[in-house]
């Protein structure tokens, strides 16, 4: 894995990953660490146990850092070539702690871009979200495309911070700052899913099955989710680091699947009756986003099949019970 435009002298590519102890970040660091052409600085404000695990990987230096401290940002950015910014206050926490969400999701993005503009960092991969498209109420509209306007309605606090982050990426790039790609990540699932996330609905279902309780899913059975496995997201991030494309958002999402299809398959694989699942038929969404730019710009199509991905969740979940 070499990008001569980013590192023409042939030295290992130096990559900073924020949010490295998180669900997506930890998988990204593990993938990058497998390549001898990279060195990785992995930072997070929490997740000490995971940071220790990552620090044991070849070519990885991991430590705790608070992105709300500008001096800390200046230090960590000083000698890197690429910044992968995944740290964020997530959806539910963004709604309950709006000031924290603004300071972390928007303020740290601004500070990282400022530091990158004053350093050798020439590329910025921003972890955005397909929630920027709103609440996805329409089952019949054409998939949202990154280069087409859309009505900015139904946007939650988390999505608002991601829109602001994307705007800062563009503004800094236009003023001579680092090149960038903003990855609008879909509904992510897989091993080590974060509590309270959409992916944790799978572990909630598995816990119910193991405990002999009736599984409940807080989505309509017909709701559609742009499900994508965390291994595919990590690969998309790797490709975004190396892509020659710049100055744009890229949807990173799977083919939409219904709640009944996803959680029914999971229940069946866990040895339960899919028809026993109780869905909230009053709560729906239809995450329809275009995959065209992901294929054209990143040269990438998600590879993890649904049953293989669900099996990885079950295997990981069962190890947590041991």
pLDDT in tens, 123-145: 999 999 999 999 999 999 999 99
**Mean pLDDT split into 10-residue runs, the chain, 322 residues:** 58 95 97 96 94 97 92 91 92 67 91 94 97 96 95 90 97 97 97 83 95 96 97 98 97 97 98 97 97 97 97 94 67
Q: How many CB atoms lie within 10 A of CB 274?
A: 16
Whole-angstrom distance, CA of residue 228 vs CA of residue 204: 18
Q: What angle do CA 10, 230, 183 make, to 5 degrees?
A: 65
The confidence score (pLDDT) of residue 92 equals 59
The model's pTM? 0.94
The confidence score (pLDDT) of residue 59 equals 96
For the stretch 14-72, pLDDT in tens is 999 999 999 999 999 999 999 999 999 999 998 999 999 999 999 999 999 999 888 88
The confidence score (pLDDT) of residue 2 equals 44
Which residue has tokens 């539910």?
92
The confidence score (pLDDT) of residue 95 equals 63
CATH number belonging to domain 13-189+226-254+289-304: 3.40.50.720
């Amino acid at each position: 894995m070499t990008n001569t435009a980013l590192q023409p002298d042939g030295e290992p590519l130096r990559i900073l990953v924020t949010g490295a102890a998180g669900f997506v970040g930890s998988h990204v660091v593990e993938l990058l660490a497998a390549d001898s052409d990279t060195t990785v600085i992995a930072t997070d404000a929490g997740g000490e146990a995971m940071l220790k695990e990552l620090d044991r990987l070849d070519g990885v230096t991991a430590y705790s850092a608070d992105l709300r401290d500008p001096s800390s940002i200046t230090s960590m950015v000083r000698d890197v070539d690429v910044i992968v910014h995944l740290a964020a206050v997530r959806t539910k926490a963004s709604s309950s702690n709006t000031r924290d969400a603004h300071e972390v999701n928007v303020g740290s993005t601004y500070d990282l871009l400022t530091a990158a503009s004053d350093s050798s960092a020439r590329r910025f991969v921003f972890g955005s979200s397909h929630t920027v498209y709103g609440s996805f109420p329409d089952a019949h509209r054409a998939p949202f495309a990154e280069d087409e306007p859309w009505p900015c309605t139904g946007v939650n606090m988390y999505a608002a911070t991601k829109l602001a982050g994307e705007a800062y990426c563009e503004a800094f790039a236009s003023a001579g700052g680092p090149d960038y790609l903003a990855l609008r990540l879909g509904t992510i699932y897989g091993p080590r899913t974060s509590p309270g996330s959409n992916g944790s609905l799978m572990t909630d279902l598995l816990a119910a099955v193991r405990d002999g309780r009736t599984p409940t899913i807080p989505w309509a059975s017909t709701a559609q989710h742009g499900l994508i496995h965390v291994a595919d997201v990590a690969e998309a991030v790797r490709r975004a680091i190396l892509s020659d494309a710049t100055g744009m958002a890229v949807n990173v999402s799977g083919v939409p699947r219904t709640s009944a299809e996803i959680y029914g398959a999971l229940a069946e694989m866990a040895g339960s009756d899919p028809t026993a699942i109780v869905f909230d038929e009053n709560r729906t969404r239809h995450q329809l986003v275009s995959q065209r730019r992901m294929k054209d710009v990143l040269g990438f199509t998600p590879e993890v099949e649904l049953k293989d991905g669900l099996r990885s969740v079950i295997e990981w979940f069962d190890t947590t019970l041991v």
